[in-house]
Amino acid sequence: MAEGEFTQLKQHLEKALNQRAEWVGDHDLYAMLADTAVQQRDEAALYRYAPLAEEAASRYGHTLYQAIAHRAWG
């Protein structure tokens, strides 16, 4: 299991999903959560957030976040 900063990162990002500011969108958080899931090798989080990241990135036409979601699946 992951240790250190990445362990806390997932907790902070999930908290941000519930307390979003106007400057951050769901596509931002889902892309970061999918990427963090990969870094932590957290399969459950990957299956939870990669599809959400992919859908949100497609909705906004955000090619960088689409690439992050596709890389997460890889």
Residue pLDDT tens, the chain, 74 long:
455 666 677 777 777 777 766 656 788 889 989 999 999 899 999 999 999 999 999 999 999 999 999 999 98
Tokens encoding 60: 């906004």
pLDDT at 1: 42
Whole-angstrom Cα distance, residue 59 to residue 51?
12
Predicted confidence at residue 14, as pLDDT, reads 76
Per the confidence metrics, is the pTM higher than 0.85? no
Read off the amino acid at residue 21.
A
Phi–psi pair at 23, nearest 5 degrees? -85, -10
What φ, ψ does residue 54 adopt, rounded to 5°?
-65, -45
